């Protein structure tokens, strides 16, 4: 698209936006009665207006029925609405969002807990295959989890963990380098485990190709989708990904610390895999027999451990229903336009910055990571003063993430205006 840096053009894009109705379904933060421009959905998504009603309903059930809330409302005009089956009602929208069968997904726990559960099952080194391949500088929790799992198996992370870094002078990765590293270690590789979308640069990785290459090398492949879910279309089942996990408080808008989830490909559902078991993952029809000996539920549900946090799950269900209703295909189309427009107005502003995020729309999500080497923090503070909420990362990075469910093209244009003003009127030291 040929973008125009004008308010009229931005408003025309908003007028023609097929997703514009969704903005009214969110609470937009305000300051002094004026809405803020919230470009931080890659860190914490905004609150859906439906949340208060959903929470009020479940609190009322708890108040009126106590423990019976687990089984009340199993037979209503809207179907089973009980707490006991709430996680099942999340399955269909989650499956749509990640491109899976409902049996392959399950909402549960928090992100790093689910990563530990998945590594327990899918990192099973042998005498010949001990190594894990990942990207260098992935999110710290992922680094710590991989390190501790390697140590728990009796290996030295410095010898077993293969980290692929960007080339010298590059901020992002070349797919060929990741594939070459898999090929180089094909005889000793047990697992490829990495983010599907890098949190710092906003780069999207070619998960289908990486998975295929890992399998050709005889290794399993899994992804951390914390920054990918709800951001880019996923086809985990068709890509033959072995497992994945995610958080839900970014682009899925499920609230701070919201419910995580997992994907386990159906080809592993009947495999005799080691897992960390708990009561809630036990075969549902026999769960209350309280017998010794773990018998897992079929599908991804068999990786559940603890009783779900119902209030958080209720919020999660309301939020992911919105995303599924919008459809990932429509969200992606708007995302590419929003991010492309943001890139255009930032470049036209003349402000001295460098965009780390790939220029190719297919290689980035709803995020631009800006390197501002001179007075970056001062610029970030200026954005905040102007009512623009982004994300600052030391030492010199500003991340801006326009979310297609609730951000507008006019907001993007106004961000560009602030950068242009900052370029012509630099802050005094």
Do residues 269 and 298 touch, judged by C-beta distance below 8 A?
Answer: yes
Q: For residue range 155-169, what is the model confidence (pLDDT) as tens digits?
A: 999 999 999 999 999
Do residues 376 and 397 touch, judged by C-beta distance below 8 A?
Answer: yes
Q: Number of C-alpha atoms within 13 angstroms, CB side, residue 407?
A: 34
Instruction: Please tell me the distance from the alpha carbon of residue 311 to that of residue 59, in angstroms, as a whole number.
Output: 8
Question: What percentage of the chain reaches a pLDDT higher than 90?
Answer: 96
- What the block records as the tokens of 219 is 């290794």
Q: What pLDDT, on the 0 to 100 scale, is given for residue 427?
A: 60
**Cβ-based neighbour number of residue 119 at 10 Å:** 23
- 425 pLDDT band (50/70/90 cuts)? confident
pLDDT surpasses 80 at 75: no
Is CATH 3.30.365.10 what the domain over 7-35+328-423 is classified as, yes or no?
A: no
**Cβ-based neighbour number of residue 414 at 10 Å:** 17
- Under DSSP, is residue 135 helix (H, G, I), strand (E, B) or coil? strand
**Helical spans, DSSP H, in 185-285:** 207-216, 236-239
Averaged over 142-161, what is the pLDDT? 98
Do residues 287 and 345 touch, judged by C-beta distance below 8 A?
Answer: no
Instruction: State the chain's maximal CA–CA distance in angstroms.
Output: 72
Radius of gyration of the chain (CA): 23
Q: What pLDDT, on the 0 to 100 scale, is given for residue 78?
A: 75
Q: For residue range 259-296, what is the model confidence (pLDDT) as tens digits?
A: 999 999 999 999 999 999 999 999 999 999 999 999 99
Question: What percentage of the chain reaches a pLDDT higher than 70?
Answer: 99
Q: What pLDDT, on the 0 to 100 scale, is given for residue 117?
A: 98
Instruction: Please tell me the distance from the alpha carbon of residue 133 to that of residue 330, in angstroms, as a whole number.
Output: 33
pLDDT surpasses 60 at 385: yes
Instruction: Please tell me the distance from the alpha carbon of residue 144 to that of residue 161, in angstroms, as a whole number.
Output: 12
Averaged over 411-421, what is the pLDDT? 98
Instruction: Please tell me the distance from the alpha carbon of residue 162 to that of residue 352, in angstroms, as a whole number.
Output: 36
The CA angle 354-381-25, to the nearest 5 degrees, is: 90
**Structure-model confidence comparison of residues 74 and 59, the more confident one:** 59
Same fold, 7-35+328-423 and 61-326: no
Cα torsion at 103, 109, 112, 115 (round to 10°)? -30
Decide the pairing of beta strands 220-224 and 243-246. parallel
Instruction: Please tell me the distance from the alpha carbon of residue 399 to that of residue 401, in angstroms, as a whole number.
Output: 7
pLDDT surpasses 90 at 311: yes
- H or E segment to which residue 391 belongs: strand 391-393
Query: For the chain, what are the domain ranges?
Result: 7-35+328-423, 61-326
Tell me what percent of the chain is helix, strand and coil, each rounded to the nearest 5: 45, 15, 40
- What the block records as the tokens of 134 is 């990942």
Question: CA of 383: how far to CAs of 136, 141, 365, 380, 394, in Å?
Answer: 31, 29, 22, 5, 16
- H or E segment to which residue 223 belongs: strand 220-224
The CA angle 208-299-332, to the nearest 5 degrees, is: 40
pLDDT surpasses 70 at 426: no
Model-wide pTM > 0.85: yes
HEC secondary structure over 312-370: HHHHHHHHHHHHHHHCHHHHHHHHHHHHHHHHHHHHHHCCCCEECCCCCHHHECCCEEE
pLDDT surpasses 60 at 429: no
Q: For residue range 205-262, what is the model confidence (pLDDT) as tens digits?
A: 999 999 999 999 999 999 999 999 999 999 999 999 999 999 999 999 999 999 999 9
Q: For residue range 317-373, what is the model confidence (pLDDT) as tens digits?
A: 999 999 999 999 999 999 999 999 999 999 999 999 999 999 999 999 999 999 999
Instruction: Please tell me the distance from the alpha carbon of residue 404 to that of residue 20, in angstroms, as a whole number.
Output: 9
CATH architecture of 61-326: 3-Layer(aba) Sandwich (3.40)
The mean pLDDT value of the chain amounts to: 96
């Amino acid at each position: 698209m040929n973008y125009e840096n004008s308010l009229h053009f931005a408003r025309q894009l908003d007028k023609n936006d097929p997703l514009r109705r969704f903005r009214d379904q969110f609470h937009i933060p305000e300051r002094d009665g004026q809405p803020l421009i919230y470009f931080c959905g890659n860190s914490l998504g905004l609150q859906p207006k439906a949340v208060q009603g959903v929470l009020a309903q479940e609190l009322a059930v708890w108040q009126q029925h106590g423990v019976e809330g687990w089984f009340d409302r199993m037979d209503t005009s809207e179907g089973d609405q009980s707490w006991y089956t709430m996680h099942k009602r999340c399955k269909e929208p989650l499956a749509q969002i990640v491109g899976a069968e409902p049996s392959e997904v399950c909402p549960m726990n928090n992100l790093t807990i689910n990563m530990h559960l998945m590594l327990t099952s899918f990192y099973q080194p042998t005498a010949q295959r001990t190594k894990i391949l990942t990207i260098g500088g992935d999110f710290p929790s992922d680094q710590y989890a991989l390190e501790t799992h390697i140590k728990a198996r009796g290996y030295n992370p410095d010898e077993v963990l293969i980290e692929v870094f960007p080339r010298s002078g590059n901020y992002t990765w070349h797919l060929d380098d990741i594939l070459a590293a898999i090929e180089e270690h094909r005889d000793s590789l047990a697992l490829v485990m990495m983010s599907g979308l890098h949190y710092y640069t906003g780069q999207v990785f070619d998960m289908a190709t990486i998975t295929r290459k890992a399998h050709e090398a005889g290794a399993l492949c899994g992804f951390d989708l914390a920054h990918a879910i709800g951001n880019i279309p996923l086809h985990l089942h068709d890509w033959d990904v072995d497992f994945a996990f995610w958080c839900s408080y970014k682009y899925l808008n499920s609230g701070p610390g919201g419910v995580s989830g997992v994907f386990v490909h159906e080809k592993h559902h009947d495999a005799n895999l080691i897992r960390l078991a708990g009561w809630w993952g036990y075969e549902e029809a026999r769960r209350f027999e309280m017998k010794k000996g773990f018998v897992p539920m079929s599908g991804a549900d068999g990786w559940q451990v603890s009783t779900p946090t119902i209030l958080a799950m209720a919020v999660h269900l309301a939020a992911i229903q919105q995303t599924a209703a919008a459809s990932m295909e429509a969200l992606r189309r708007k995302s590419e336009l929003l991010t492309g427009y943001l890139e255009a107005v930032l470049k036209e502003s003349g402000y001295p910055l460098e965009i780390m995020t790939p220029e190719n729309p297919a290689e980035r999500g709803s995020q631009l990571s800006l390197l501002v080497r001179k007075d970056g923090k001062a610029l970030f503070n200026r954005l905040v003063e102007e009512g623009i909420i982004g994300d600052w990362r030391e030492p010199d990075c500003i991340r801006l993430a326009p979310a297609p469910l609730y951000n507008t093209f006019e907001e993007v244009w106004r961000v560009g205006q602030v950068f242009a003003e900052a370029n012509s009127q630099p802050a005094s030291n």
